[in-house]
Chains A and B, each alone.
Chain A
Amino acid sequence: MKKAALLSLLFLVLSGCASSSSWGWYVIDPRTKSGWINIKFLVSGMGSTIQISLIAAFISIILGLIIVLPGLSSRRWLRVISRIYVEFVRAIPLLPMLFWVFYGLPLIFKSMGLNIPIDPFWGAIITLAISDSAFTAEIYRAGIQSIPKGQTEAAQTVGLSYAQSMRYVILPQAVRLILPPIANQFIYIVKMSAFASVIGMQELTRRANELVVSEYRPLEIYSLLIVEYLVLVLVISAGVRWLERRMGTGDHR
């Protein structure tokens, strides 16, 4: 009963905000021809959203590792560099960073005599990857530091170099702690990829915006957009839980 009351309240609020004072779900009604065409148009952004997110996440996973290693060094200045990167990148909001990458980087390249154009696709990927890498680095740090110091020492006493002890002793143990939160970060990337719409990337949000301009039914179209992201995130969540289960039992294989 409480649920029904809440739902009708929500309904009232929503219909109050609608531009015309009635619903217009016809824009995305799959039973009508135009509604079906609209749905297909909206969903067709899915491929780009997935592509951008996957590539950005991949780069971020590697970048995060490159950033965290100096942060664990015994040399102070290396730790400081890593720290500054993390604090700085974490603090920059995504939207201005996106503008900087998309409009600013080509200018900087030009002043260095290079002609490297950045298209919306790579602009979005670079921004997302950099922004996410600060978080990835922190996740790596927590995972690596949770491995007891004795493991590194034992690795040293059997002659392993720093890189070898990371590769064969520390990271394989830390990965069980690192993977689930890294996979969670992927959800963040998927949602933040919506910002790519402002530099003209044809992904889910951009498609929705374009349809809103021609159909003038923002509430209904954005509702479908929410459902699209929801489906993506639920699929990822299921994957993360599967991964966590596997990692949890992976000890005594």
Chain B
Amino acid sequence: MKDHPAQDFAIELVDVNKWFGDFHVLRNINLSVRTGEKVVICGPSGSGKSTVVRCINRLEVHQQGTIHVDGIELTADPKSIHDIRAEVGMVFQQFNLFPHLTVLKNLILGPMKARGLSRQQAEKTARHYLERVKIPEQADKKPGQLSGGQQQRVAIARSLCMEPKVMLFDEPTSALDPEMISEVLDVMVELANEGMTMVVVTHEMGFARKVADKMVFMDAGEIVEQGKPDQFFNNPKSERCRKFLSQILQH
């Protein structure tokens, strides 16, 4: 399966194009993420940020260009989809926890059913990651009984239980009340410091300055600008990016 030479790229998108019907949602997307690198994607609503991230684990299908994850090319082949999903964790804006299962069962479902771990092993891993997101005491509650911030941390732990090489975050704090944002960002900063490869769609520019190795600005389905955070924030090249940054940094 490791059919791609550029092994140092955890994720590589080359000339990716995608349409929803007639609507050209992604235009010539080129993006590479090195192992251990943290990439933050920002841009106005509707610019295609979610779609890029969702293409990386095949929740959306791209029509042109190539996507490689850990050297595996993402194709319609179920095996390639399965192999890539095994390496990619995903955290959604709306958490998407399984509301009928307890926190612990949310965490062990994937490891047991998809990876064939025993319940004992899966629970051990699950409790370890619950500890890491700082809510070990909530294991037996249903998601509906937790606050938004706690639910999102459970969602992060659920992804980590699959021991992915790459973590994707799609606006993980946008659905949260302001006072809960930092508890989720703190967990993500820790994860970043431990060396996880991360692609994060967010408008939390404080977080971006702290962890990002690379900033990406998207508008109207295109990557308008990408670069090092210093240069990106202090001296953006394009007018569109400058305008966007001044808007979101105002409040």
Contacts and interface: CB of A to CB of B under 8 A. Distances in A.
A156 B96 CA distance: 11
Nearest to B102: A253
A235 B158 CA distance: 45
Interface in B82-116: 82, 85-86, 88-90, 92, 94, 96-100, 109-110, 113-115
B166 to A, nearest CB: 12
Contacts of B115: 159
B59 A169 contact: no
Contact of B144 (A151, A153, A173, A251): A251
Contacts of B155: 154
A156 B59 contact: yes
Contacts of A164: 113-114
B142 interface: yes
B125 interface: no
A65 to B, nearest CB: 19
B238 interface: no
B114 A151 contact: no
A169 B113 CA distance: 12
Interface in B112-156: 113-115, 142, 144-145, 155
Interface residues of A, number: 19
B159 interface: yes
B33 interface: no
A158 B59 contact: no
A158 B144 contact: no
Contact of B159 (A158, A172, A252): A158
Given A156-B59, A157-B159, A160-B110, A150 B94 contact: yes
Contacts of B100: 172-173, 251
B110 A159 contact: yes
B98 A154 contact: yes
A168 B110 CA distance: 10
Contacts of B113: 159-160, 164, 168
B197 interface: no
Contacts of B82: 159
B57 interface: yes
Contacts of A156: 57, 59, 85
Query: By CB atoms of chain A within 10 A, which of B114, B145, B162 has the most?
Result: B114
Contacts of A151: 96, 98
Q: Which 5 A-B pairs have the closest CB atoms?
A: A158-B110, A159-B114, A154-B96, A150-B96, A157-B90
13 contacts: A151-B98, A153-B90, A153-B92, A154-B92, A154-B96, A156-B59, A157-B85, A157-B90, A159-B113, A160-B110, A160-B114, A161-B114, A172-B100
Interface of B: 57, 59, 82, 85-86, 88-90, 92, 94, 96-100, 109-110, 113-115, 142, 144-145, 155, 158-159, 161-162
